[in-house]
Amino acid sequence: CCSPKVCIVGSGPAGFYTAQHLIKARQDVEVDIYERLPVPFGLVRFGVAPDHPEVKNVINTFTLTARNSRCSFYGNVNVGKDVSIEELQQAYHAVVLSYGAEGNRRMGVPGEDLAGVYSAKDFVGWYNGLPSCQELSPDLNCETAVILGQGNVALDVARILLAPTDILKKTDITQPALEALVQSQVRRVLIVGRRGPMQVACTIKEFREMVNLPDTRPEMMADDFEGVKEALKDLPRPRKRLTELMMKTALEIPSEKEQERQSKASRVWAFRFLRSPIEILANPDNSRTVGIRLAVNRLEGSGDGARAVPTGEVEDVTCGLLISSIGYKSLPIDPSVPFDSHKAIVPNNMGRVQHTAGLYCSGWLKTGPTGVIATTMNNSFDTARSVVEDMESGTVDVSAARPGSQSISGLLEERGVKPVTFSNWEKIDSLEMSRGEASGKPREKLLTVEEMLQVARK
């Protein structure tokens, strides 16, 4: 009799892939996507590194979904604040939470809040134009930067700190970040991990990009690879290939051509293994960081499950910039929704939120903050399948009509919240692209919510 109405919270990859699958699986379903910011696409816009434009092509698929007549986008709506989950549940047959992981894990060591210490989340948000991070203006007036963590995000940050700005100026990096990087004094980046080379969390593509980064040379330590060769044969293939490339970088004498390239390089990067932060060191008046005290670890066990155990030895490293890249973290946005604060996810079974019929989750909120866009896509398709199954089995009763956006729009209007539609966003999009064109970049992003809203409503 009536069309099932589904509401999705968050317009990152999880939100869009969930919507895409729902629309395809059922010809009658209508999907509304609510997004806190005036602009869509989550970490594809605000996380993925500016020098990875090919990764952002998923935006084309998301745009097709958004333009489907059965999909609507409501940007500038902060769910949990402007409208509650319970209100959404009353208006829709099903609600899918896919609002990602907007918090970050803290190191939990003294000195974490000193000037010169940043989370990778904020640093990435700064160079990618996330409005809430534009005040960061990190001080790059130092020679050595330490990054804690050895995952792909850590390598993104290392690359942005070291890449020749001639490369960056052709990307969609923000103008203030580009200017700061042109002035940057950072010449050396240490990428520190608490375990060994066989436990790093990055993938080979990102490591290879470091090896090939113009005007830089690696400074790996041969000793770190003792015994690694013998362990290679038992490693799964992707880990084996990555470890081989790290070993080659650390141990092999480069070709003559490569030696010449390296000798001319003005910047250095290195991995440091078996080190955990103990304390961030401050200057005498305690106003900013001048280094970090690290515990030296040894490994107990082997493979992915190996544990870092402190040996009792410590090591101080001098640095003026410290970026902790030890993980993102989902946050609860509404007290009515179950939340596992230990795992920092919404507890679920195939995307069905525990004990709450008609409520689902997908993406990083469902799995925790790991996995590339393709992983997020698969787990979002799984959630969409659960929604469709529940509609078919009657667990979600779609026989009675629900008002959907009609009632929510009324509530938002009463509260003075004016949503941004997808065609409003397309105005921002075309302005950003034409501004970019003028300066030889694919896009020049708007940096404040006010400016975004102004352009959207023109």
Residues of this chain that interact with ligand FAD (CB under 6 A) are 9-15, 34-37, 42-43, 47-48, 52, 55, 78-80, 98-100, 102, 124, 153, 156, 328, 333, 363-364, 371-373, 376
Beta carbon of residue 372, minimum distance to ligand FAD (angstroms, whole number):
3
Give the nearest distance from C-beta 400 to ligand FAD in angstroms. 27
102, 80 in Cβ contact below 8 A? no
| Token reading at 170 | 């052709």
Shorter beta-carbon distance to ligand FAD: residue 316 or 413: 413
Report strand pairing: 103-104 vs 328-329.
Answer: antiparallel
Q: Is 129 annotated as a binding residue?
A: no
Q: How far is the CB of 13 from ligand FAD (least distance, A)?
A: 4
To the nearest whole angstrom, how small is the minimum distance from the Cβ of residue 19 to ligand FAD?
A: 11
Rounded CA-CA distance 458/456 in Å is: 6
At closest approach, how far in Å is the CB of 238 from ligand FAD? 15
Cβ distance to ligand FAD smaller for residue 49 or 308: 49
What is the Cα 168 distance to its own chain's centre?
19
Angle among Cα 24, 27, 30 to the nearest 5 degrees reads: 90
**297 among annotated binding-site residues:** no
Q: Which is nearer to ligand FAD, 98 or 405 (CB)?
A: 98
Measured from the CB atom, is 30 or 102 closer to ligand FAD? 102
Residue 371 marked in a binding site: yes
Task: Single out the residue of 411, 398, 161 nearest to residue 268, CA to CA.
Answer: 161
Q: Any binding-site annotation on 64?
A: no
Give the residue with the Cβ less far from ligand FAD, 294 or 456: 456
364 assigned ligand-binding residue: yes
Q: Is 153 annotated as a binding residue?
A: yes
Q: Please say which residue, 38 or 196, places its beta carbon nearer to ligand FAD.
A: 38
CA 337, distance to chain mean position in Å, is 23
Token pair for 233: 């044969």
The answer to whether 372 is annotated as binding is yes
CB atoms within 10 A of CB 413: 11
- CB-count burial class (<10 Å; 0-12, 13-18, 19+) for 416: exposed
Q: Confirm if 338 and 356 have CB atoms less than 8 A apart.
A: yes
Nearer to ligand FAD, 309 or 447 (CB): 447
As measured in angstroms, the least distance from the Cβ of 275 to ligand FAD is: 22
Query: Ramachandran region of residue 286, left (φ > 0), alpha (ψ -120 to 50) or beta?
Result: left
**Closest residue by beta carbon to ligand FAD:** 12
User: Is 358 annotated as ligand-binding?
Assistant: no
Q: Is 14 annotated as a binding residue?
A: yes
CB of 45 to ligand FAD, least distance (A): 8
Rounded alpha-carbon distances, angstroms, from residue 457 to 325, 422, 425: 37, 12, 9
Query: What DSSP letter does each residue of 41-82 carry, written as one string?
Result: -THHHHTS-TT-GGGGGHHHHHHHHHHSTTEEEEBS--BTTT
Task: Tell whether 105 is in a known binding site.
Answer: no
Q: Is the CB of 148 or the CB of 274 nearer to ligand FAD? A: 148
Helix 58-67 vs helix 13-25: crossing angle, to nearest 10: 50
Minimal distance, residue 356 CB to ligand FAD, in Å: 17
Binding residues for FAD: 14, 35, 43, 79, 364, 371-373
Binding residues: 14, 35, 43, 79, 150-153, 194-195, 206, 364, 371-373
Binding residues for NADP(+): 150-153, 194-195, 206, 371
